[in-house]
Structure 1
Amino acid sequence: MQEERWHRQGCLAGKGLALSPGFYPVSVKKKFLVNGITRGKMFVKKFKEDFYDVIQGNRCLLLVNFDIDAICACKILQHLFKNDNMLYTVVPVQGISNVVQSYQDNCNDVKYVVMINCGGIIDIVGHLEPPEDMTFFVIDSHRPLDLCNIYSESQIRILHSQGSGEDIPEYDEVFRDSSEDESDEDSDGESRQAKRRRLNEEDMLRKRERREWEEKRDTILFNYSQYSHYGKSSAVLMFEMAWRMSKDSLDMVWWAIVGSTEQAILNKVEPQVSVLEAGNLQGQVSRLSHRQGVDAERQQQSAVKIIYDKDLQLALYRHWTVESSLRHSMTTAVALRLWSIRGEQRLRELLAEMGLPLAQSKQRFSSMDLNLRLEFREMVEKLAAKYHVEDIIGASFTLQFGYKFKYCASDLVYAMLALLESSGKDRSPHHCFLDAMDCLSRMKKDTLERGIEKAKVMLASVFKTAQGILEMKKVMNAGSFLYVIIPEGTVDGRLFAHPHTLLMLAQFVLRAYVGSSKRKGAAAAPLVASANYEQEEETCLLVGIPPICEDQPRSLFGKAFEQAAKNINAALDADYFDTTIIRLKTQDRSNFFDALATLLT
């Protein structure tokens, strides 16, 4: 199966490339030729009537991507399914080939397949070749969506948020009647004299119009698909459906909050979108708390309570030491330049000026003096402007259950990420997926605590590796982009063979580099990070991220990666649902970076 996934890429353009008639391969062009059928966008707007009521009472197959938002969305659906006594099968999937195999293994006696964050960007019918009576419901935050899914007759139905603002091409702009092609093909058997008679002025005009339409179509497709980005959280979409069905709860809104928080932490959506979404979710929390008779002044400790309040954007600080949290949170580490000796001095100065004894800062936050704990946020706020760490002042959601269960949404995101990406010889990816899902259960506190401990190791490894890269000046400038290669043989090297961890490292390194660089235009440079993936197969993992100056986190690396690989005739494994994440033969990496630099110049 591994060998089947390595393939030669088709001709796809990247930034600054001129469009050509060969912009899309023949196999792709044929997808946009139909037999005179006009179709509308297959978006499901009425989630209850056109999705939930349709599948209710039937056994469903849930294919769920390995990301936090997908897991949270799945958890909400599971809760609804259990309440309605529905039969379902949950299968975690890590890539496109995994989707194909999982579908083939589990499609018997199933008429409805729900794909969460894993089906929107691929031609589902083309990849899975399902029977005509099989229906797929797609809940996917990846963008852009595949046009064959959008304009499916009825087999593919996409759950889509209202007013998403996506510029989706019209059907007639990208699909055309194939009867003309068939007539041209039939003419191959004609005699030369008959062909000459057909080449009259009308035929020439028709062919010219078709060429012009194809060129325009290629331009439209390129403009639509050139950037990879993310849409609304799938977990939030599922919560909104539960709300409209009057089946929502505080647990469900909490899962939606965690899914939305993952998008914010990993910079999948612009900050203002995260703020607006948090405001909407706060309104839902207030409504549900009031409905369930939750009173802040008379709260029973056995009940669930979600609080939205001003908080410090410091990673895991309630479960770590203050010093470690300040050191390993990207915002403070970059602002104070903690990878340098001068940065260490500034951290000591900050702690001293806060009036926080060094001994206290090295203790677990929960073990600190009570007065210091209560005053900690105010201490930081007073000095935030002086030390240029204003960004750590914000607001967050906190879940409280009983006396000891108190976690903010980002705690769960970091814990789930750490568990999700801790697969190895002693732990399969499937078990890691279940561990991450267990973090959402209030009854599985031990799993959540284990995830938090792993998250500490993960964040410390990200900082330590970034520190080494910056100290050794390993961020290379390729002109149109930056790149960094994680050294082989490091203790933490295996950790970065996972996409999310490598993504976090790339974002840390880019922000630190831009913050400390004197080079003009550094903020406008995207970055590619690479780490060894499989030592035996001699493959490496690559992740591309957009420049930090971009208001919208859209990346052009998906198309650029494909074109660069084609230009050097390199085998590329683009199996991930995020097209900015790929695998490559390690021996091709150097030539690949050269080709990418030429392409983006």
Structure 2
Amino acid sequence: MLLPHKLVSAAYHELVGRARGSVACTTFLFVAPDVDSLAAAKLLSSLLKTDDVPHQTVPVGSWSQLHHEASQLAAAAGTSVRSLVLVGFGASADLHALLGPDACDLPPECMVHVIDAHRPIALANLFTREAERDADGNEVVYDPWKKEREAFEELEVHPEDSDDSDEESDREDDDDDEDDSDAGRRKRRRTDSPKPLSRDQRRAYRAQLAKYEARGSSFGQSVVWTMYLLAEALGRTDVDAVWLAILGLTYQLTNSQVDLSTYEIHQTILATEVARLSTTPDSLQIGNVSTAVSTSTSTSERDRSIRPSEELRFCLFRHWNLYDAMFHSGYLGVKMKLWTMEGRKKLSGLLAKMGLSLSESSETYAHMSSDLKESLFPMLSEQRASYGLWDLSYPSFVRKSGWRVDLSAQDYVDALEALLEAATGVRLDFASITTIDARQWAEGIKSWVHKAGMLGEGDKENRRPPTDANGAGGGDEMTEVEKRQKYEQDENEARRRNFWYAWDALDPEDTTLLRHALPLSMALHRAVIAQGSYILDKKAITFFRSYRLAVVKDGPDLPVFQHPATLLRLAHWLVDAIRSMLENQAAGSGAGGGGGASRNLPFVLAALGETSDKFLVVGVVPADEYGDVRRNRFGIAFEEAALQSRAKAQQRYFDASVVEVRRDDFDKFLKHLSMH
């Protein structure tokens, strides 16, 4: 069922009504492990608690995990499962095939709700009988998909290719005498069989569906934005809800899911909401925007207010020193080519022009003088033209946390992403982080684990208890297949724990865990920048006919890049760097990364998983300008390359532009991919 926004509240009331009259938990939230989905699930869970609806939240990171969790749910809860909500995934897959009676044993009365930003939407989810009516039973007309609807329904009625049989019937009809022909026509009129499609009709319908799928993947409005609209329709918006919506929007901008113009439109709407819901003087005026380095302080330890802010594109600069915050900025890194000695000299020159000594730029933000904080933004604004840093700042928000240092929306997103990607399960190098910061992360996690229990969430409210893993504890006696299976089990368990770390870090009243995650985020940023700089410095990018390729096969941080989100982050950084170099080449200001290719080709990045014996592969389509976003067609290209090469490949994650390929099949997979 595809619902317009005005009917989402009706669907919610139906979900609440279906939960009534049962002592058992009937509502289950399956949540994707990303910041947008996490924030949406937090908000939806809050709404359900207000309505006294018992529910369980289950982190789900892949299609196979979805099948596993749904099957376990059906076996454990049986007919008590009345509502299943997929948060952050599901729109782009045929859910009837994944969750239908042939796939798992969910009861027929179970209603599946999907809240997802992935596009395109699978046509099978749109054009079934159930999808044609809204929550009140009224007909819903889908004008945007009128042609696709006709093509889908006609091919559903005629699933088999009957072109040859049609032609044969036509020849037989010509040979029949008039009486037999009349009798045949009368017989056909008495049947209910649909008229067979001609070859041209079938081709036209298939072409229409292929055109729809070939547009590539993109993202609609954030999932938590949809939940915020639901809260608004229910009259339950507050500063905590609008902050979650802000985080979802910031996450989309950071991960190139929406362009800058779309972000700014929604940011303006959220600024209006902040002014409407806030009670502090700084936030009541819509136009009252502070700079990123404003030194305004809270008057109360309980202050959790939000204010609009013009944010610098620096990395965690309120919690790092200025030099590292600038050096690890994705924007500054690609604009100033900080992976080169020349680029690092430019950065030192910029700081010198601002009148900052090396010792001052190495001080943490908390220890910088108030005068320096206040003058930082004006000094940077004076220099942006000299270095071409036109997009050095962007409109965003910060949130107070009592008397502690403010946290920006980007700080939140960075910390939450670090928890989701690397809180457990991988080892990061903290050697370059200050001893205090590294100790803060280690002690923070230890204290939280002690408080929450060794499993992280076993005794927490509304959470699915962990399932037992099959198999032995490992050792030399295990076969390679058993080792890979155990590796996948350990990986899933680590990512499940990471989800609950991030869930608890979203506590609006206590930012301790979130702040403990900031050093982890710094280490993750260092790993990404170091790997990207190495690839560019060594000119380790290969050119194929239709794309560029870089492969990460070794290094101390290799396991870090086995997470799709981390690998995509590196890919986006490299794409931005390549675009910047091409712009410099076009302007005659220097050579780029070698190879002489002048086109901004799609980019493929692969990282070897030594334990899994697979390459994790991601595909990114670069935009022509910074802040723009293009549709990603790698999902179809990966699928076709795997089929044509007969490579053992699997698109197991919710992002179609991510695929796993067996090491032995990697080369032939790439060869066929270059043909697309």
TM-score, normalisation: structure 2: 0.76
8 Å CA contact 1:309, 1:397 repeated in 2: yes
Give the match for residue 342 of structure 2.
342
Give the match for residue 288 of structure 1.
277
Give the match for residue 670 of structure 2.
593
Q: Cα gap change, 1:566/1:170 in structure 2, threshold over 3 Å: closer, same or farther?
A: closer
Give the match for residue 152 of structure 1.
128
Q: Could you tell me how far 1:120 is from its partner in structure 2? A: 0.7
Q: Could you tell me how far 1:524 is from its partner in structure 2? A: 2.9
The within-5 A match list for 1:17-56 is 42-56=2-16
Give the match for residue 645 of structure 2.
568
What is the rounded CA distance, in whole Å, between the counterparts of 1:48 and 1:437 in structure 2?
24
Q: Are residues 1:529 and 2:529 paired?
A: no
8 Å CA contact 2:239, 2:277 repeated in 1: yes
| RMSD of Structure 2 on Structure 1 (CA) | 3.3
Give the match for residue 217 of structure 1.
205
What is the rounded CA distance, in whole Å, between the counterparts of 2:41 and 2:519 in structure 1?
25
Which SS does the other structure have where 1:582 is aligned? strand
Q: Cα gap change, 1:98/1:46 in structure 2, threshold over 3 Å: closer, same or farther?
A: same
After TM superposition, the structure 1 stretch with the greater mean CA deviation from structure 2, 255-264 or 172-181, is: 172-181
Consecutive unaligned residues in structure 1, runs of 5 or more? 1-40
What is the rounded CA distance, in whole Å, between the counterparts of 1:542 and 1:554 in structure 2?
18
Q: Cα gap change, 1:273/1:167 in structure 2, threshold over 3 Å: closer, same or farther?
A: farther
Q: Could you tell me how far 1:308 is from its partner in structure 2? A: 0.5
What is the rounded CA distance, in whole Å, between the counterparts of 1:382 and 1:294 in structure 2?
28
Give the match for residue 16 of structure 1.
none
Code of the aligned partner of 2:400: Q
What is the rounded CA distance, in whole Å, between the counterparts of 1:156 and 1:179 in structure 2?
17
Residue number among 540, 546, 562 corresponding to 1:474 in the alignment = 540
Residue number among 251, 254, 265 corresponding to 2:240 in the alignment = 251
Give the match for residue 290 of structure 2.
none
Deviations 1:206-235, CA, capped at 9 Å, x for gaps? 988432222122211122112011110010
The within-5 A match list for 1:313-462 is 313-404=313-404, 406-422=406-422, 423-424=424-425, 428-462=494-528
What is the rounded CA distance, in whole Å, between the counterparts of 1:275 and 1:93 in structure 2?
31
Which SS does the other structure have where 1:56 is aligned? helix
Corresponding residue pairs, total: 551
Code of the aligned partner of 2:62: G
Deviations 1:143-164, CA, capped at 9 Å, x for gaps? 10111111233379999xx999
Q: Cα gap change, 1:576/1:43 in structure 2, threshold over 3 Å: closer, same or farther?
A: same
Q: Cα gap change, 1:420/1:412 in structure 2, threshold over 3 Å: closer, same or farther?
A: same
Q: Could you tell me how far 1:462 is from its partner in structure 2? A: 0.7
Q: Cα gap change, 1:400/1:291 in structure 2, threshold over 3 Å: closer, same or farther?
A: closer
Code of the aligned partner of 1:254: W
After TM superposition, the structure 1 stretch with the greater mean CA deviation from structure 2, 583-592 or 230-239, is: 583-592
8 Å CA contact 1:438, 1:444 repeated in 2: no
Residue number among 545, 549, 554 corresponding to 2:624 in the alignment = 549
Q: Cα gap change, 1:44/1:525 in structure 2, threshold over 3 Å: closer, same or farther?
A: same
Q: Are residues 1:122 and 2:93 paired?
A: yes
Deviations 1:438-491, CA, capped at 9 Å, x for gaps? 221134422102221111001111111111101100011112111100132x01
Q: Cα gap change, 1:165/1:233 in structure 2, threshold over 3 Å: closer, same or farther?
A: farther
Code of the aligned partner of 2:46: H
Deviations 1:165-212, CA, capped at 9 Å, x for gaps? 966744222212766679979x99x99x98997898999xx9884322
Query: Max radius of gyration: which structure?
Result: 2
Which SS does the other structure have where 2:399 is aligned? strand
After TM superposition, the structure 1 stretch with the greater mean CA deviation from structure 2, 210-219 or 360-369, is: 210-219
8 Å CA contact 2:283, 2:307 repeated in 1: no
Give the match for residue 513 of structure 1.
578
Q: Could you tell me how far 1:139 is from its partner in structure 2? A: 0.4
Code of the aligned partner of 1:216: A
What is the rounded CA distance, in whole Å, between the counterparts of 1:541 and 1:491 in structure 2?
17
What is the rounded CA distance, in whole Å, between the counterparts of 1:536 and 1:598 in structure 2?
30
Which SS does the other structure have where 2:307 is aligned? strand
What is the rounded CA distance, in whole Å, between the counterparts of 1:479 and 1:182 in structure 2?
37
What is the rounded CA distance, in whole Å, between the counterparts of 1:168 and 1:362 in structure 2?
60
After TM superposition, the structure 1 stretch with the greater mean CA deviation from structure 2, 172-181 or 381-390, is: 172-181
Give the match for residue 28 of structure 1.
none
8 Å CA contact 1:164, 1:231 repeated in 2: no
What is the rounded CA distance, in whole Å, between the counterparts of 1:410 and 1:475 in structure 2?
30
Give the match for residue 464 of structure 1.
530
Q: Cα gap change, 1:286/1:181 in structure 2, threshold over 3 Å: closer, same or farther?
A: closer
Deviations 1:534-565, CA, capped at 9 Å, x for gaps? x2331010110012317432111100111111
What is the rounded CA distance, in whole Å, between the counterparts of 2:374 and 2:671 in structure 1?
54
8 Å CA contact 1:137, 1:156 repeated in 2: no
TM-score, normalisation: structure 1: 0.85
8 Å CA contact 1:138, 1:158 repeated in 2: no
Code of the aligned partner of 1:117: G
Give the match for residue 562 of structure 2.
497
8 Å CA contact 2:318, 2:365 repeated in 1: yes
What is the rounded CA distance, in whole Å, between the counterparts of 1:223 and 1:184 in structure 2?
23
Q: Cα gap change, 1:100/1:470 in structure 2, threshold over 3 Å: closer, same or farther?
A: same
Give the match for residue 9 of structure 1.
none
Which SS does the other structure have where 2:227 is aligned? helix
Q: Cα gap change, 1:370/1:321 in structure 2, threshold over 3 Å: closer, same or farther?
A: same
Give the match for residue 466 of structure 2.
none
8 Å CA contact 1:135, 1:156 repeated in 2: no
Deviations 1:115-137, CA, capped at 9 Å, x for gaps? 11121111111111144322111
Q: Are residues 1:272 and 2:258 paired?
A: no
Which SS does the other structure have where 1:43 is aligned? coil
Q: Could you tell me how far 1:567 is from its partner in structure 2? A: 1.3
What is the rounded CA distance, in whole Å, between the counterparts of 2:142 and 2:246 in structure 1?
19
